[in-house]
């Protein structure tokens, strides 16, 4: 391909050159005095071609060489990827060899809706607030809404280690270097690194490079899913991804729609999240993504648009998954097949927890507490310690049993509002005696 050595303009991370025969979405290699970087064609106007430079335009000279590669962004997809770590341009970050086999395009076409099937398999995480109260379902797309400082990356890592999946793809955008090391080490210690593929863009890397991470992660995940693998894709943090898009859009002088974000924010996020799919007779893609909410504001454009796209959300607040606001839209598809008391216990315990919150308010306002309030306070405290705490790690069956024992510890049978036949079957034996001792 022809080499161009005259850059017409540099604005933000976008450069413009005069070139011919270029196709939309093509890649180019730019060589600067600081090294070389990939760049992607994002606009063509006559012979003026605009490209976003992955490594950023800082230090780029108008005389630097630009070589078009004649193909769009691609990523290698073979079994050799497992256990490897790459950066946002798809180059090795772990010192291993670069991979060039079986290059596949990224950002491929959408799944035909008529080929989708109704999801049917639960993903076990060992976290009662998920398994019991908002069950994660294979092929679900679910964000974790949180704020900076919350242990969302720890939560992701734990789910990755405990979920029964064949492959974990982690896409990190604007990740703190410490967090990257945390993920790598945790996966390694948990013995899961060999079935993981990491695409890591850290906060120290050029912003534009982070834009490719979701597409690369999902393109690889899609290939493995088509080959029958159950893939769990973890993306953190999608707000950084949206901010990178915002930056490019502003540089391109696009009209911003809401708080500076481009008008196509919804479509851009949706085209990534909608890659979650359960393929009939083959594998699946489940997406868990962290979305930090600037200022803890759920009406901020990123969490707001995300909420309209995803199938529910987990609110991580105060180190716990909040029972209120958190929602798994797909839980109904699976929680009738776990155990017969699952649905009733799920609703019953949350209803009583809501009453506990009222009692707590009453207490803090200095009103007199009734005996019932005392029971609620005891229940709420136990519920938070034995169920909501993120260190609790038990299978769903045990979580259900624990739910009954918490109820039996705090209440009489008829005070729980649960169906009589379930109480007869699941109320812990000898619980009445325990109650008598109180």
Partner 1 sequence: MNTTGTVTGINGNMVTVRADGHVIMNEVCGITVGDKQLKSEVIRIRGNSAQVQVFEITKGIGIGDRVEFSSQMLAVKLGPGLLGQIYDGLQNPLPQLAEKTGFFLERGIYLDALNSAAVWEFTPRAKVGDKVSAGDCLGTVPEGPFEHRIMVPFYNEDEYTLTRVNEAGKYTVNDAIAEGTDSKGNTILFTMAFEWPVKRPVKLYEERLKPTTPMVSKVRLMDTFFPVAKGGTYCIPGPFGAGKTVLQQITSRHAEVDVVIIAACGERAGEVVETLREFPELTDPRTGRSLMERTIIVCNTSSMPVASREASVYTAVTLGEYYRQMGLDVLLLADSTSRWAQAMREMSGRLEEIPGEEAFPAYLESNIAAFYERAGIVRLKDGKTGSITIGGTVSPAGGNFEEPVTQATLKVVGAFHGLSRERSDARKYPAIHPTESWSKYTGIMPDHHVKYAHSILAKSGEIDAMMKVVGEEGTSLTDYIVYQKGEFLDTVYFQQNSFDPVDAAVTPERQIHVFSLILEILASGIQCDDKEDARRWFYQLRQKFLDYNGTEFNSEEFKSLEKDIRDILASKASGIDPNAADILKEVKK
111 touches partner 1 (CB under 8 A) = yes
CB pairs under 8 A, 24+ apart, for 397-402? 397/339, 399/128, 399/131, 399/132, 400/132, 400/339, 400/341, 400/342, 400/345, 400/426, 401/426, 401/428, 402/128
Q: How far is the CB of 22 from partner 1 (least distance, A)?
A: 6
When binding is defined by CB under 8 A, the residue of 9, 58, 181, 308 that contacts partner 1 is 308
- For residue 102, the SS3 value is coil
Binding to partner 1 by CB under 8 A, coded x per residue (else -) over 198-237, reads ----------------------------x-----------
Q: How far is the CB of 429 from partner 1 (least distance, A)?
A: 31
When binding is defined by CB under 8 A, the residue of 29, 78, 251, 257 that contacts partner 1 is 257
Q: How far is the CB of 154 from partner 1 (least distance, A)?
A: 26
Specify the pairing of strand 7-11 against strand 14-18: antiparallel
Q: How far is the CB of 21 from partner 1 (least distance, A)?
A: 7
Q: Measured between alpha carbons, how far is residue 99 from residues 85, 86, 192 in Å? A: 11, 10, 21
> CB-wise, 107 or 190, nearer to partner 1?
107
Q: How many residues does the chain have?
A: 438
C-alpha–C-alpha distance, residues 222 and 216, integer Å: 10
How crowded is residue 42: how many other Cβ atoms within 10 Å of its Cβ?
15
33 CB-contact burial (10 Å; exposed 0-12 / middle 13-18 / buried 19+)? exposed
Binding to partner 1 by CB under 8 A, coded x per residue (else -) over 64-103, reads --------x-------------------------------
C-alpha–C-alpha distance, residues 199 and 197, integer Å: 7
Window 322-341: residues binding partner 1 (CB under 8 A): 324-325, 327, 329-330
- Options 172-180, 185-193, 249-257, 368-376: segment touching partner 1 (CB under 8 A): 249-257
Specify the pairing of strand 320-321 against strand 167-175: unpaired
Residues in Cβ contact with 260 at an 8 Å cutoff, skipping those fewer than 6 apart: 246, 250
422 touches partner 1 (CB under 8 A) = no
Binding to partner 1 by CB under 8 A, coded x per residue (else -) over 261-290, reads -xxx-xx--xx-xxx---x-----------
12 touches partner 1 (CB under 8 A) = no
Q: How far is the CB of 13 from partner 1 (least distance, A)?
A: 17
C-alpha–C-alpha distance, residues 88 and 199, integer Å: 6
Q: How far is the CB of 367 from partner 1 (least distance, A)?
A: 9
Residues in touch with partner 1 (CB under 8 A): 20-25, 43-47, 72, 107-119, 226, 254-258, 262-264, 266-267, 270-271, 273-275, 279, 299, 301, 304-305, 307-309, 311-312, 324-325, 327, 329-330
């Amino acid at each position: 391909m022809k080499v161009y050595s005259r850059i017409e303009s540099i604005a933000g991370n976008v450069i413009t050159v005069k070139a011919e025969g270029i196709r939309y979405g093509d890649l180019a290699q730019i060589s600067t005095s600081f090294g070389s970087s990939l760049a992607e064609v994002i606009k063509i106007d006559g012979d003026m071609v605009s490209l976003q430079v992955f490594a950023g335009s800082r230090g780029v000279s108008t005389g630097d060489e630009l070589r078009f590669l004649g193909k769009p962004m691609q990523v290698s997809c073979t079994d050799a990827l497992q256990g490897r770590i790459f950066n946002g341009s798809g180059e090795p970050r772990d010192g291993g060899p670069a991979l060039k086999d079986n290059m596949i395009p990224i950002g491929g076409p959408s799944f035909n809706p008529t080929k989708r099937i109704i999801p049917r398999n639960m993903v076990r995480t060992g976290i009662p607030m998920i398994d019991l109260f908002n069950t994660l379902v294979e092929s679900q797309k679910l964000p974790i809404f949180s704020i900076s400082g919350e242990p969302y990356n720890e939560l992701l890592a734990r789910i990755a280690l405990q979920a029964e999946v064949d492959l974990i793809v982690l896409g990190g955008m604007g990740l703190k270097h410490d967090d990257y090391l945390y993920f790598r080490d945790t996966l390694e210690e948990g013995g899961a690194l060999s079935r993981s593929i990491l695409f890591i863009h850290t906060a120290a890397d050029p912003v534009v490079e982070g834009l490719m991470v979701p597409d690369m992660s999902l393109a690889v995940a899609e290939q493995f899913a088509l080959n029958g693998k159950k893939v769990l894709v973890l993306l953190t943090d999608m707000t950084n991804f949206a901010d990178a898009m915002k930056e490019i859009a502003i540089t391109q002088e696009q009209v911003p729609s809401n708080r500076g974000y481009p008008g196509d924010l919804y479509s851009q996020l949706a085209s990534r999240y909608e890659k979650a799919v359960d393929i009939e007779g083959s594998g699946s893609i489940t997406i868990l993504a962290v979305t930090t909410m600037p200022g803890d504001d759920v009406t901020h454009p990123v969490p707001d648009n995300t909420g309209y796209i995803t199938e529910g959300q987990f609110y991580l607040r105060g180190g716990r998954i909040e029972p209120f606001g958190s929602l798994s839209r797909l839980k109904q598809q699976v929680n009738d097949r776990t155990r017969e008391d699952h649905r009733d216990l799920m609703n019953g315990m949350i209803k009583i927890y809501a009453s506990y919150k009222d009692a707590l308010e009453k207490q803090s306002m200095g009103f007199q507490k009734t005996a019932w309030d005392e029971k609620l306070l005891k229940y709420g405290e136990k519920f938070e310690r034995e169920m909501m705490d993120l260190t609790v790690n038990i299978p769903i069956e045990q979580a259900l049993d624990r739910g009954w024992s918490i109820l039996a510890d705090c209440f009489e049978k008829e005070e729980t509002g649960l169906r009589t036949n379930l109480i007869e079957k699941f109320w812990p034996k000898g619980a009445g005696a325990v109650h008598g001792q109180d």
